[in-house]
Structure 1
């Protein structure tokens, strides 16, 4: 078994986004469509006489799975860039994940990083920070995160701040990647360094909370070609337990 098996085991639901009664300017709609351009998630518009203005629905067949005000997506992803997370300008306590994005769980996303794209990886960066915030708020449980190169923890101010704050809780933090960083003596973070494929080509953030909580959350992405990724996020406990177990045993 490899990490790729977890991609194959995702549920791959057929879901789309529908913007209801849009009053926001056309560029906002274009930005939303751009985030999902080339993905398996269609973005449509619809006018409903009895619907609220500027709502984003997640639709699967005839069912509405989730909804969010369009402004929530503007504030969380459309009007931001990855530098806000990398530099720490947007702190961990400010991270919000709209229900309309939560509702896209277990859908595979195909992404390119900079310089091919300035925005495609932003979605997975937001999900990663959301999982880290969840761990920080819970204050206990286990967080496992892959960085490809552990040096990123030191090089990215925002990432360093996040993991310093999570380390100040009772969360058991494990980080994975090729060598390049050592935690300071006062930190309790456990490093797992290596040069195998899972260390070099995986991007995961997996949070397993204490038994009293149901806030299981995980992201997994694999680099298929240089700077090209396929990944998904999930809230399914059975999937997260298996993923956590694989990482604990194999890496």
Structure 2
């Protein structure tokens, strides 16, 4: 396994959401902007006009829901009637998307996700935090932040390709190589230990630089995928 394999695996966790017998909904397209999801609108032949939604992973059918289930997603800030009518079972739809990764090619967005994960690690206050920003020089503006995270009680591991020429980060381990792999990928992964998956705060971002300053990145909150990445880093680059 390599970082390339993990990156490809995260990208392969793509879902296809198909809305049948309904007109395209821009709000739904906007909702899925960052999801690794292909959104389609289609109509079935015949007289039926019943609208519904299906979810597939590759060629595998995962399930379908009534289109009304999507209403809370399209109107997250809408007024509630405060009556006794049950809310549509949106969770049934979102469960069909379990394990889906998120994707962007916007560098600023990737940076914001990195900051979110660092903040999450800070709030939890323990666990293992792995960060690779490709080149040692990229850590120059990050050293104080990661020293604070280490001081907080986190087990911090930093990775880069090339000779380390950034200031030292007290309390953190630093690994450098010249094999090129660490120079191609930007990652931040927080493994919060042995918490049950339903309470886990684990998260990971892995982005590949396709050309200078241009990235495609995926991120996930799936503890299994986070452990795959952190285990690989520990086994490959650990002492």
What is the TM-score when the length of structure 2 is the normalising length?
0.62
Aligned to 1:164: 147
**Partner of 1:210 in structure 2?**
193
Question: What is the total number of aligned residue pairs between the two structures?
Answer: 182
1:220 equivalent to 2:206? Answer yes
Range that drifts further, 161-170 or 138-147: 161-170
Q: Paired residue for 1:137?
A: 123
Structure whose alpha-carbon radius of gyration is higher:
2
User: Residue 174 and residue 14 in structure 1: after superposition, are their counterparts in 2 closer, same or farther (change >3 A)?
Assistant: same
Within 5 Å, which residues of 2 pair with 1:114-133? Answer: 120-133=106-119
Cα 1:66/1:137, change in 2 over 3 Å: farther
Deviation at 1:226, TM superposition (A): 3.1
Please, which runs of 5 or more residues in structure 1 have no aligned partner?
21-31, 43-58, 72-102, 112-119
2:168 aligned partner = 183
Q: 1:151 aligns with which of 109, 117, 137?
A: 137
Within 5 Å, give how 1:187-206 maps onto structure 2.
187-206=170-189
Q: What is the aligned-residue RMSD (CA, Å)?
A: 3.8
Using the alignment, how far apart are the partners of 1:15 and 1:171 within structure 2? 39
Q: For residues 15 and 74 of structure 2, what CA distance do their matches in structure 1 show?
A: 19
Q: Secondary structure at the match of 1:193?
A: strand
Q: 1:140 to 1:12 in 2, by over 3 A?
A: same
Q: Which runs of 5+ in 2 are unaligned?
A: 19-24, 40-53, 56-63, 78-97
CA contact (8 A) 1:12 1:107 kept: no
Q: TM-score, normalised by structure 1?
A: 0.59
